[in-house]
């Protein structure tokens, strides 16, 4: 309706324009403990914050009048052609954001021309996710020398997963005080129910109805049945079996030997570790500090990226995750040596706000922002980005 020259409506048509908009909307929709579980970080949140601010320290180098019509966002990870250089990172217990997160994330990822990385601590079993999907997704392994690991690797292979990421930055769980203060246990699930947390659930009836009814908290790779008892049992198995500080390079060399598909190490920040991964025949490394959830004061992923990429020297693929919230962040990571990035929290915000549509919109926002950034920079394709596409930002912080 038009009135005095205005386009009059009840609400603005588009309120969710950025990943940050989804973040704020997700915060309103989730009980405090779940919000803190998803959005929180280790100790004083220094690394969590640095993951974001590291992107602010780089400027993009624009070029004008290039006469480019189409801008190409295609990339390849582990031989898989992707329409978008953005994978969905593994997030355990993602069923807390939306009870069907694993299935929706895999379905949306493949529709958008990318892939989902299924966590060892997923809320649906790796077989259930593979059966529901049309494409082969990636599997993330929490390593342990022993039977749980070899059985997970066998199961992942027979369910059709061909690319595996071994996460090596969790020898012990980081301390995320925010989530512990609001009802998550320091050593895993299930959440603690107190009158206060119950009241908080009651204030979020839609979340409570869906998530509590379906009990898809996490850990379904270890138990057959669902429900609270299964969740408890599986998480006790995880606690016992999944984090092992005695793990060493021999253990991952054994995994390299056993796994016939592409193999990545996730959680690499030190160039020497990257060199060792290359020597052992890994296909790639993921520069990551686990989204600032493990070692506080670990360097920001983007800060660690150039040296790791130099150490790898093109002999393996380099991916990055941590703090990617804008298309320009993706462009900067690719310019500094990554061949693709992964996002963790952003798709959890999306799924918490509006299920599959939310995940899809988050990826669409990033795609549009990448294309717009390339266009404004005068760069035809993400493959053309290199160190000359960025420059340190001269700015007082």
What positions carry a catalytic annotation?
A: 290
SS3 72: strand
Q: How far is the CB of 13 from ligand FNR (least distance, A)?
A: 28
Q: How far is the CB of 119 from ligand FNR (least distance, A)?
A: 4
Residue from 26, 54, 87, 89 touching ligand FNR (CB under 6 A): that is 89
Residue from 47, 125, 163, 167 touching ligand FNR (CB under 6 A): that is 167
Which among 120, 381, 114 is positioned nearest to 389, based on CA atoms? Answer: 381
145-177 b/e (C-beta count within 10 Å ≥ 16 → b): beebbeebbebbbebebbbbbbbbbbeeebebe
Using CB under 6 A as the binding rule, whether residue 358 contacts ligand FNR is answered as no
Q: Which stretch binds ligand FNR (CB under 6 A): 107-115, 242-250, 287-295, 365-373?
A: 287-295
Our CB check for ligand FNR shows the closer of 345 and 360 to be: 345
Q: Is 368 exposed, middle or buried (0-12, 13-18, 19+ CB in 10 A)?
A: exposed
Contact 138, 118 (CB under 8 A): yes
> Across the chain, where does the E strand assignment appear?
2-3, 6-7, 58-60, 75-77, 80-82, 86-88, 117-118, 138-141, 163-167, 262-268, 284-287, 317-321, 340-343, 390-392
Residue from 31, 85, 90, 219 touching ligand FNR (CB under 6 A): that is 90
SS3 314: coil
Our CB check for ligand FNR shows the closer of 37 and 58 to be: 37
Q: Strand 6-7 to strand 2-3: parallel, antiparallel, or no bridges (unpaired)?
A: antiparallel
With a CB cutoff of 8 Å and minimum separation 6, the contacts of 339 are 75, 76, 77, 85, 317, 318, 319
Q: How far is the CB of 258 from ligand FNR (least distance, A)?
A: 19
SS3 328: helix
Q: Which stretch binds ligand FNR (CB under 6 A): 11-19, 102-110, 148-156, 317-325?
A: 317-325
Using CB under 6 A as the binding rule, whether residue 300 contacts ligand FNR is answered as no
Q: In this structure, what token pair is assigned to residue 68? A: 């480019």
Using CB under 6 A as the binding rule, whether residue 351 contacts ligand FNR is answered as no
Using CB under 6 A as the binding rule, whether residue 121 contacts ligand FNR is answered as yes
Our CB check for ligand FNR shows the closer of 149 and 379 to be: 149
CA distance 337 to 318: 7
Our CB check for ligand FNR shows the closer of 190 and 378 to be: 190
Task: Tell the residue number behind the tokens 């355990």, with chain if given.
Answer: 92
Using CB under 6 A as the binding rule, whether residue 42 contacts ligand FNR is answered as no
Residue from 324, 363, 379, 390 touching ligand FNR (CB under 6 A): that is 324
With a CB cutoff of 8 Å and minimum separation 6, the contacts of 108 are 356, 359, 360, 363
Rounded to 5 degrees, φ, ψ at 272 are: -65, -40
CA distances from 156 to 126, 145, 324 (A): 7, 16, 28
Using CB under 6 A as the binding rule, whether residue 321 contacts ligand FNR is answered as yes
Our CB check for ligand FNR shows the closer of 204 and 290 to be: 290
Residue from 291, 299, 327, 355 touching ligand FNR (CB under 6 A): that is 291
Residue from 98, 204, 345, 367 touching ligand FNR (CB under 6 A): that is 345
In the shown chain, the binding pattern of residues 175 to 214 toward ligand FNR, with x for contact by CB under 6 A and - for none, equals ----------------------------------------
Q: How far is the CB of 120 from ligand FNR (least distance, A)?
A: 6
Using CB under 6 A as the binding rule, whether residue 92 contacts ligand FNR is answered as yes
Cα 189–chain centre separation: 20
**Bridge partners for 80 per DSSP:** 77
Our CB check for ligand FNR shows the closer of 80 and 300 to be: 300
Using CB under 6 A as the binding rule, whether residue 226 contacts ligand FNR is answered as no
Using CB under 6 A as the binding rule, whether residue 38 contacts ligand FNR is answered as yes
Using CB under 6 A as the binding rule, whether residue 91 contacts ligand FNR is answered as yes
Residues within the interface to ligand FNR (CB under 6 A): 37-38, 51, 89-92, 119, 121, 140, 167, 266, 288, 290-291, 293, 321-324, 343-345
């Amino acid at each position: 309706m038009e009135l005095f020259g205005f386009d009059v409506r009840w609400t603005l048509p588009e309120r969710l324009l950025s990943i940050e908009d989804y973040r704020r909307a997700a915060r309103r929709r989730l009980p405090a403990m779940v919000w803190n579980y998803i959005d929180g970080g280790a100790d004083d949140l220094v690394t969590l914050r640095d993951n974001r601010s590291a992107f602010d320290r780089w400027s993009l180098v624009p070029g004008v009048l290039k006469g480019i019509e189409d801008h190409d966002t295609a990339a390849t990870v582990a031989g898989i052609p992707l329409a978008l250089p953005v994978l969905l990172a593994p997030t355990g217990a993602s069923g807390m954001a939306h009870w069907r997160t694993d299935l929706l994330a895999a379905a949306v990822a493949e529709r958008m021309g990318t892939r989902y990385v299924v966590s060892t601590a997923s809320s649906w079993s790796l077989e259930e996710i593979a059966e529901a999907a049309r494409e082969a997704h990636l599997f993330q392994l929490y390593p342990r020398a022993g039977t749980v690991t070899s059985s997970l690797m066998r199961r992942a292979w027979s369910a059709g997963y061909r690319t595996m990421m071994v996460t090596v930055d969790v020898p012990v769980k980081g301390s995320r005080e925010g989530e512990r203060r609001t009802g998550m246990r320091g050593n895993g699930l299930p959440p603690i129910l107190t009158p206060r947390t119950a009241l908080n659930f009651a204030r979020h009836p839609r979340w409570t109805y869906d998530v509590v009814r379906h009990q898809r908290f996490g850990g379904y790779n270890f138990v057959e049945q669902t429900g609270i008892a299964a969740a408890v049992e599986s998480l006790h198995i995880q606690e016992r079996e999944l984090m092992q500080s005695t793990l060493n390079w021999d253990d991952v060399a054994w995994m390299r030997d056993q796994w016939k598909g592409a193999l990545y190490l996730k959680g690499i920040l030190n160039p020497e570790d990257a060199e060792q991964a290359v020597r052992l025949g890994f296909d790639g490394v993921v520069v990551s500090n686990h989204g600032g959830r493990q070692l506080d004061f670990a360097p920001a992923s983007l800060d660690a990226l150039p040296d790791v990429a130099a150490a790898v020297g093109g002999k393996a693929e380099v991916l990055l995750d941590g703090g990617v919230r804008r298309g320009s962040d993706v462009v900067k990571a690719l310019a500094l040596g990554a061949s693709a990035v992964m996002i963790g929290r952003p798709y959890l915000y999306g799924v918490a706000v509006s299920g599959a549509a939310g995940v899809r919109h988050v990826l669409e926002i990033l795609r549009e922002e990448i294309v717009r950034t390339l266009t404004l920079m005068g760069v035809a394709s993400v493959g053309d980005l290199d160190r000359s596409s960025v420059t340190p930002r001269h700015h007082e912080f």
